[in-house]
A and B are shown apart, each in its own frame.
Chain A
Amino acid sequence: MTHSTTSISNINRRHFLGGGLFVAMSFATPALSQSSAASKLGKTNDPKDVDAYFAIHADGRVTLYSGKVDLGTGSRAAMRQIAAEELGVPTSRIDLIEGDTALTPDQGPTSGSNGIAKGGMQIRQAAATARDALVKLAAQKLNLPAADLDVVDGTVRPLAGGKGVSFAEVLGDRRFDVKLDAKAPLRKPETYKIVGHAHKRPDVPAKVTGTHVFMHDFEVAGMWHGRTIYPPSVGASLVSVDEASIKHIPGVKIVRVKDYLGVAAANEWDAILASRALKAVWKDGPTLPRHEAMKEWILSSPQVGDEVIEKRGDYQAGAAEGARKLKSTFYWPLQSHASLGPSCAIADVKTDGATIWCSSQSTHKYTSSFAKMLSLPQDKVRLIYIDGSGCYGMNGHEDAAADATVMSRELGLPVRVQWMREDEHGWDPKGAPQLIAQEASMTADGKITAWKTEMWVPKGTEKLPNIPLLAPESAGLPQVPGLSPGGISGGGLPAYEIPNMEVQVHWLKASPLRPSHLRAPGKIGNLLAVETFMDELALEAGKDPVAMRVELLKDKRGVEVLKRTAEAFGWDARVKPRKDGKGRGIAYTKYKNAETYVGMAMEVDVNVDTGAIAVKRVVCVHDCGQIINPDSVRSQVEGCIIQTLSRTLLEEVKLDGKRVTSVDWASYPILTFPLVPELKIELIDRPNEPPMGAGEAATAPVSAALANAIFDATGVRMRSVPFTPQRLKAALLESKTSTG
């Protein structure tokens, strides 16, 4: 059984909950509103209620309702582990339902690497409250004090031994009716038997045997297949459509709403053929910057204010104190989420409500967007999460859902939209570009006296409910306008003891393309700037890069991570670059300046004739506090490293002034197997510390460690991403010329 089918059939099987009302919630009757589904379940979704998270069934099984979803991260295993440990049942007895707005509590979007750290801890506290309630109820049944009882294997038993009562006997198919208690006592980490162990993920067997139901594979009775025809330029308006141009394809309907253009057919291939054949005349939108000219665009772009995000000591005085000056400027390009499977969704819009199946990280949050778009009350719109292709931030999942919604509304039937490859690469909201300038001052004896960082990045619109979607924009349907590039100014504070510091953001009014959060938004570029600058400062001071960092780092966990990284890598200290084509670099982060600690060391070979960069080996030491599932953490760290190497070495969205031109894997290449280095990952488990995220932290030091390794190999600083062979070759030639 796949995970998805398990949970779907599970919903249908679990007919009776609270008052024994029948749950008419099959996927064949989709247009059930959020409120009616909840009321028929007798189920609350209020995150303050234990019943929002847990249901105990008469057969002893437990359903866990999670507002956070598993995007391929392994949280499907980890959430069960957290709940199982705290409740006292085996993971195998827990069914998990994720991200269905009618059934799960709103725990916020699954983003920012906070699934476990926030959502998981909420579930842990709910489980502890549930256990407390079960024990108290069992105490009455057993006529024993609650303090003399414990839960083992789903049964409340006397600590002294003797007969206990099962969860099912205590509460089977009835509600808890208790509020989540933030002070409900938690099990002690030293007693953990499930948390901290590498449980296998329940979805992997189905995923590798082709039986896992992805969003792309899901069907609703009577659905049609839709494709959106995106215009030849961003922001174009639709002048005319030549309906006769698809006359040769029978049974296709054209959906035209203002500037929105789509086709739909009962047969998917017919819809694709029609989308390719349909002729339309468009009027171009406003001119966009070209990707080659993005830095200039950023510097000449209107600003909407400055923000000082860190002020320490007196920068001017510090700068006056240090006679040796260093400056550097970094550029991070527009990048695509570049999901392997183009986004897909199904919408079934009826006059009194809508059901939308999609792979959104933020189903709860996006109900407001879809309700507004359809002029429906929010409780009449239900979003149901189904696994999609990995998104790493907001890719096209929500846009595909909006496309399907517009078409379903017009056609009066359920519509499935799957984006084509060029749609995903061309139209997913993009990771925003960044420009970062730094200055530092150092005394003659190598003491850093002042550090200044300036960032030029697009400003997020305050209180923007959601990132605006393409279909309502083109169809003229209501939505709240604005920009949201994610926390793009984050993680850019040097982690080191520097007495005088100023970090300032120049907020740009616009972004060249609609921005969204792309894994660790801003943090990789910001850390590239900080951690390569630290290398430059170490060189200037005549110190080894590891020694310099350790000297200036006061955080004990940070120091341990750095030292262990150097040791695991076999770091050979030196104060000057080798410049013989082989190099090694190091970088460190306390993610977002507040979370997971990561040390990363990298070894590269550079072909100084061609500029080709081969990453040979990456060592990562990772401390995210308490580890729930070490294998899933490891898997996330691997993904962070490999994906960020790809972003750093290869990825830049190309624009020709009208539209994105990098619309396939040839024009927007990603890292392939032969280029994947040897990985060595050490996880530090701290069971008594709070868990922190593992989905993003290890991305942050990748570019910096690589840039530092390239410098060691060549004596050349790479300051613009991607680090293409052409760029490195040009920089090598320039350095030869300048040094004679």
Chain B
Amino acid sequence: MAKYQFTVNGVQRTAELRDPDEPMLYVFRNALGLKGVKYGCGLGQCGACTVLMDGEAVRSCQIPASAAVEKKFTTIEGLGTPEKPHAVQAAFIEEQAAQCGYCANGMVMTSAALLAHTPHPNVNDVKQALADNLCRCGTHDRIVKAVMNVAGGR
């Protein structure tokens, strides 16, 4: 077992892991108890496991712990809470932009990353930014509307 340190949601966290290649997805969910991040495919294809690493949206299933040492992560738990949601989360609630909600983590995190870089995207920008995030329930239209509401609509 070896110790790995990361900054997660502004706090220094340590995980004791046997395998240096354990993907951060499992480190967040199991070692650190942050279960907002979801396993969807483990292949980087669906986006359910998206977190922010040094401000960029990344697929945590594709990042081994050894490559994440000293990185700064934001998970969905660090973005906002039901009582004090982030603007993106508030917009998702307002638009009721979740059905089963399993993909919501990736949708919210990817949208937050987009808006951090591009505060006023147009509809196509939003659709392109979310192009690799899959939703099976068909909530796409609401998700785009929610993001556009934060972006000031256009």
Contact = CB atoms under 8 A, between A and B. Distances in A.
Partners in one complex: yes
B77 interface: yes
Contact of A268 (B26, B103, B142): B26
A22 interface: no
Contact of A390 (B34, B42, B85, B99): B99
Nearest to A666: B45
B85 A273 contact: no
B93 interface: yes
Q: How large is the interface on A (under 10, 10 to 19, 20 to 34, 35 or more residues)?
A: 35 or more
A203 B136 contact: no
Interface stretch (A303-311, A339-347, A730-738): A339-347
A207 B96 CA distance: 10
Contacts of A212: 101
Given A207-B98, A666-B45, A342 B81 contact: no
A282 to B, nearest CB: 23
A296 B128 CA distance: 40
A208 interface: yes
B112 to A, nearest CB: 11
Contact of B79 (A209, A339, A665): A209
A390 B137 contact: yes
B89 A269 contact: no
Contacts of A340: 40, 46, 48, 100, 102-103, 134-137
Q: Is the interface of B mostly helix, strand, loop or mixed?
A: loop
For A204, A273, A674, the residue with the greatest tally of chain B CB atoms inside 10 Å of its CB is: A204
Contact of A341 (B97, B102, B138): B102
Nearest to A198: B96
Given A665-B41, A673-B140, A205 B85 contact: yes
A589 to B, nearest CB: 18
B52 to A, nearest CB: 13
B60 interface: no
B24 to A, nearest CB: 11
A674 B100 CA distance: 21
A638 B141 CA distance: 8
Nearest to B76: A210
Contact of A342 (B39, B134, B135, B144): B39
B85 to A, nearest CB: 6
A515 interface: no
B134 A670 contact: yes
Given A71-B100, A209-B77, A640-B138, A341 B40 contact: yes
A339 B136 CA distance: 7
B79 A204 contact: no
Nearest to A212: B101
A267 interface: yes
Nearest to B107: A208
Contacts of B43: 421, 664-666
A208 B131 contact: no
A714 interface: no
A674 B18 contact: no
For A74, A204, A205, A340, the residue with the greatest tally of chain B CB atoms inside 10 Å of its CB is: A340
A338 interface: yes
A631 B96 CA distance: 8
B77 A204 contact: no
Contact of A211 (B45, B77, B141, B143): B77
B92 A204 contact: yes
A421 B127 contact: no
A205 B132 CA distance: 24
A319 to B, nearest CB: 41
Contacts of B120: none
A639 interface: yes
B68 to A, nearest CB: 14
A524 B96 CA distance: 27
A206 B101 CA distance: 9
A638 B137 CA distance: 9
Interface string B13-26: 00000110011001
Nearest to A70: B100
B130 A673 contact: yes
Interface string A625-647: 00000011001001111110010
A211 B89 CA distance: 12
B140 to A, nearest CB: 4
26 contacts: A72-B100, A72-B101, A207-B101, A208-B101, A210-B34, A210-B36, A211-B36, A214-B35, A216-B39, A217-B35, A269-B26, A273-B19, A340-B102, A341-B102, A388-B100, A632-B96, A638-B142, A639-B99, A665-B45, A665-B134, A673-B128, A673-B131, A673-B144, A674-B128, A676-B141, A676-B144
Given A273-B19, A673-B130, 16 more contacts: A205-B89, A208-B92, A209-B77, A209-B81, A210-B105, A339-B102, A339-B136, A340-B102, A390-B102, A635-B139, A635-B142, A638-B141, A639-B137, A664-B45, A673-B140, A673-B144
The 5 closest A-B pairs by CB, nearest first: A210-B36, A642-B138, A207-B101, A72-B100, A390-B100
Interface of A: 1-2, 71-74, 200-201, 203-214, 216-217, 250, 267-270, 272-273, 338-342, 387-390, 392, 418, 420-421, 631-632, 635, 638-643, 646, 664-666, 670-674, 676, 679
